[in-house]
């Protein structure tokens, strides 16, 4: 949500769907999301082994030291020549992004109606 608010032009990089998998006690057991390989049709590369660069606009909303850029690379994948986002929890937000992330997290935890449609119960 923070990324969508900060950089809506990057929506094309988001998974088409993403949801949490929880057990009967409500404990998160995993995340399910779009298969970027489309069932093996495309090779999915980690950003670390890609020649593509993280877009400059994206670097404006994160902590921008060398270590943070290296961590951020683990959030991206290259699929069929395009960057896609996968591991959203690895984004090293700047201080404003962290504050907004925490506000959203608090909102989601206090009102389960936001989260419930995105949960798969096992």
List, for residues 20-72, the tens digit of each pLDDT value.
Answer: 888 888 888 888 889 999 999 999 988 766 677 878 787 777 777 777 777 77
pLDDT bin (cut points 50, 70, 90) of residue 74 is confident
Structure tokens at 119: 């949960």
Say whether pTM exceeds 0.85: no
Q: What per-residue confidence (pLDDT) applies to 40?
A: 94
Contact status, residue 75 vs residue 86, Cβ threshold 8 Å: yes
Q: Based on the structure, what is the number of domains in the chain?
A: 1
Q: What per-residue confidence (pLDDT) applies to 79?
A: 92
Structural domain containing residue 41: 2-121
Share of the chain above pLDDT 70, in %: 98
Average pLDDT of 73-101?
A: 84
Mean pLDDT of the chain: 82
């Amino acid at each position: 949500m923070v990324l969508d608010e900060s950089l809506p032009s990057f929506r094309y990089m988001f998974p088409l769907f993403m949801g949490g998998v929880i057990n009967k006690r409500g404990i998160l057991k995993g995340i399910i999301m779009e298969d970027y390989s489309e069932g093996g049709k495309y090779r999915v590369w980690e950003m670390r082994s890609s020649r593509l660069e993280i877009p400059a606009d994206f670097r404006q909303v994160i902590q921008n030291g060398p270590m943070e850029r290296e961590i951020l690379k683990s959030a991206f994948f290259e699929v069929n020549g395009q960057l896609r986002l996968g591991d959203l929890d690895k984004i090293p937000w700047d201080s404003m992004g962290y504050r907004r992330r925490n506000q959203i997290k608090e909102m989601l935890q206090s009102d389960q109606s936001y989260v419930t449609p995105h949960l798969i119960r096992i």
